[in-house]
Amino acid sequence: MKVTLINTSDAGGGAPAASARLLNALRQNGVDAQMLVQYKKTGNSAVTGIVKDTASKLKANYLFLAERIPFILFDEEDKTVRFAFSTANAGTSIVDHLLIKEADVLHLHWTNSGFLSFTDLTELINTGKPIVWTMHDMWTFTGGCHYSGACTRFEQECGNCPFLRDPDPNDLSHKGWKRKKTMYTGAKNLTFVGCSQWLTSVAKQSSLTGRFIMRAIPNPINVEVFSPQDKIFARAKHGVSAGAKVILFGAANINDRRKGITYLVEALHLLKEDSPENVEIVIFGKNRHFDVTTLPFAVHQLNIITDEARLAEVYSMADVFVTTSLEDNLPNMVMEAMACGTPVVAFNTGGIPEMVDHMQNGYLAPLGSAQGIANGIAAIMTTDHVLLAQNARQKVLDNYTNKRVAEQYIQLYNSILQA
């Protein structure tokens, strides 16, 4: 069985990391899996990039701008939604690529930012090959947004989109919804997978994808790499006090509106009112605008970390990992922290409650409550850390290992090939 995974890149965000990890998990469990991407960013020999030289890079840059610029100039409500909506109006045909022609199963992941357009996706559907489409956000079943917030128009018909500057019944979201409806009409070779039970259940409510076969299969993680490390050594390496209570926060882009950094700031100030002085904050991820001096404790800023072994050290040196995401599917960082034995404080939203068991391996705060996050941090820091750490690690071992996740996908591939 030959499977070709398809994603915009193989590193540099949640979906790239998750799809690359699945590639490795499948190969470790006997599947002849390859990955086709626009941008290859790792040295993985099983990954093939479309961008290979100056000419293809220029083309890819043009396609990215062709998708982004019209939206920025004419449609975006403000800068905070600049990358929260994708039009898929530009892309590259890959239907004749050898990895597509030779595959028994095509496995789509996240293909936006100028990689595959509606036309390119339709070409893949029209091959008739079985297609598994793993949903890393809501884009596959909305008119263009990646997370819809409180909007449920995708359940019927998109239009009057709150992400757009001039929403109306026939706006850009409605046009995107109609293009997806056309693309899906008559398709009998599509199977959708949600990385969380939450996303799967939401996709079932969409007028676009509700009729398709739907499965919930989580992302995998390498529990050999992401495992508890020597806390004292890790803290010394990164200049963090050995005896401090360490709060860790990370995001691919700290300034992403969905990551809720303002709630973290408020929560830490609330915590400061009742907390001992011996608290230090560690922050990692892309940060262009957030001023860490607004935080009321000593801060260590580590910026972007791509090396997984170093990431495991960073998670291991923390007493608690905090995420204030307002919308999320099955966050890699929550899984990574738990695999390293670090309990998690998070909002009770999206797929996070499927990972975090309240007061067993972490703490779930009411959505949008900074006080709830502060209470959670305080609770975790005063609870038996050994037990919390063991429970966090065990949750990952029971649900998200490479073997366990690969087996679920292999079973799915076989079922659709035999149908």
Q: What one-character-per-residue DSSP string does 3-26 give? A: EEEEEEESSSSHHHHHHHHHHHHH
Dist CA 224 CA 316 (whole Å): 14
Q: Residues with Cβ < 8 Å from 28, sequence gap 6 or more?
A: 402, 403, 406
Question: Token match 């995401």: residue?
Answer: 325
Question: Which DSSP helix (H) or strand (E) runs through 279?
Answer: strand 279-286
pTM of the model: 0.95
CA distances to 99, 181, 209 from 187, rounded to whole Å, are: 21, 10, 11
Phi-psi region of 47 (alpha: psi -120 to 50; beta: other; left: phi over 0): beta
Structural domains in the chain, sorted by start: 2-220+401-417 (3.40.50.2000), 231-399 (3.40.50.2000)
In this prediction, residue 237 carries a pLDDT of 94
Dist CA 1 CA 104 (whole Å): 6
Dist CA 180 CA 201 (whole Å): 19
| Ordered per-residue pLDDT tens for the chain, 419 residues | 999 999 999 998 899 999 999 999 999 999 999 999 999 999 999 999 999 999 999 999 999 999 999 899 888 888 888 889 999 999 999 999 999 999 999 999 999 999 999 999 999 999 999 999 999 999 999 999 999 999 999 999 999 999 999 999 999 999 999 999 999 999 999 999 999 999 999 999 999 999 999 999 999 999 999 999 999 999 999 999 999 999 999 998 888 888 999 999 999 999 998 876 799 999 999 888 889 999 999 999 998 998 999 999 999 999 999 999 999 999 999 999 999 999 999 999 999 999 999 999 999 999 999 999 999 999 999 999 999 999 999 999 999 999 999 999 999 999 999 97
Q: Residues with Cβ < 8 Å from 77, sequence gap 6 or more?
A: 162, 163, 164, 165
Q: What is the 3-state secondary structure (H, E, C) of 357-416?
A: CECCCEEEECCCCHHHHHHHHHHHHCCCHHHHHHHHHHHHHHHCEHHHHHHHHHHHHHHH
Dist CA 318 CA 311 (whole Å): 11
In this prediction, residue 256 carries a pLDDT of 86
Structure tokens at 156: 């019927």
Three-state secondary-structure class, residue 252: strand
Phi, then psi, of 68 in degrees rounded to 5:
-80, -50
Q: Nearest 5°: CA angle at 374, between 370 and 378?
A: 170
Neighbours of 1 (CB within 10 A): 14
C-beta of residue 41 within 8 angstroms of C-beta of residue 415: no
